[in-house]
Amino acid sequence: MTTENENENNKKIPKHLAIILDGNGRWAKKRHLPRLLGHRAGLRKLENMVRLVKREGIRYFSVYAFSTENWTRPKMEVDGLMSLFRFYIRHKVEEIKAEGARIRFCGRKNKIPEDLLEQMNWAEEYTKDQNILDFILCINYGGRAEIIDAVNKIIDSGQKNITEEDLRKNFYLPDVPDPDLIIRTSGELRLSNFWLWESAYSEYYFTDTYWPDFDEAELKKALEDYAGRDRRYGGLKK
């Protein structure tokens, strides 16, 4: 399900770019600010990133914004994050739509406050005809949860033996191709339950920069690095 893409300069670009938005808390701490201000700065960064990613010719852009494990954080931080998501959706949908981007959410729908869920559904519906970029916000997403949810759907259907394709068809966003490149900011070298199944042949790029400081130059550096990678998928070098 992974396809190579090239831009007009024949440079290899990811069709699906995924970013693990990490380091908001440490960004705030460094400035003696509350963690939530770090999260606010992080969400702000996304606005511009959608534009930049689109300009690079990327077709799918997914971001890990809240994991199934992030509910274990203090209630104040979780509530604050949910409010920031509300604010972001309410105020940014128009701009994102104007960029030709379709907003999609990926993750479990339980636990998310009812009003936020309604807003998410509205934003998806409101932007569904945009087809330049799919901007995918992973909220209450966990790779293990996604696999388990897919397996349970298949069990409910009565099917006994499954193939990889059956599983894939039951994922949250079955039409979205696997991520070609996964960037993680803030110096952590792990996946933390993001795109677990889908990342089987993804390329990784790690940077020490905290997410709120990630900028165009950083993005270009990551894409440059990706363009030089040799992807073999277990086969022989072409």
Q: Looking at residues 95 to 114 of the shown chain, list those that interact with ligand IPE (rule: CB under 6 A).
A: none
Nearer to ligand IPE, 186 or 207 (CB): 186
Nearer to ligand IPE, 22 or 146 (CB): 22
Residue type, 47: E
Distance (Å, rounded) from C-alpha 149 to C-alpha 23? 29
Our finding on whether 130 is near ligand IPE (CB under 6 A) is: no
List Cα–Cα distances, 4 to 31, 42, 110, in angstroms.
41, 29, 35
Nearer to ligand IPE, 65 or 219 (CB): 65
Q: Are 5 and 13 in contact (CB under 8 A)?
A: yes
Distance (Å, rounded) from C-alpha 171 to C-alpha 146? 6
The entry of Mg ion, ligand IPE, none that residue 146 binds, CB within 5 to 8 Å by partner kind: none
Our finding on whether 70 is near ligand IPE (CB under 6 A) is: yes
**How many CA within 13 A on the CB side of residue 29?**
5
Q: Looking at residues 174 to 203 of the shown chain, list those that interact with ligand IPE (rule: CB under 6 A).
A: 186, 188, 190, 192
Residue 175 a catalytic site member? no
Nearer to ligand IPE, 67 or 209 (CB): 67
Distance (Å, rounded) from C-alpha 217 to C-alpha 66? 25
Name the residue number minimizing CB distance to ligand IPE: 25
Eight-state DSSP code of residue 105 = E
Residue 166 a catalytic site member? no
Helices (H), the chain: 24-30, 35-55, 75-98, 114-127, 143-156, 164-169, 216-227
For residue 121, the minimal CB distance to ligand IPE (Å) is 21
Eight-state DSSP code of residue 43 = H
Residue bearing tokens 């705030």: 28
Our finding on whether 214 is near ligand IPE (CB under 6 A) is: no
Q: Looking at residues 3 to 22 of the shown chain, list those that interact with Mg ion (rule: CB under 5 A).
A: 22
Q: Looking at residues 13 to 32 of the shown chain, list those that interact with ligand IPE (rule: CB under 6 A).
A: 20-26
Eight-state DSSP code of residue 207 = -
Positions in the binding site for ligand IPE (CB under 6 A): 20-26, 64-67, 70, 81, 186, 188, 190, 192
Positions in the binding site for Mg ion (CB under 5 A): 22
Active site residues: 22, 70
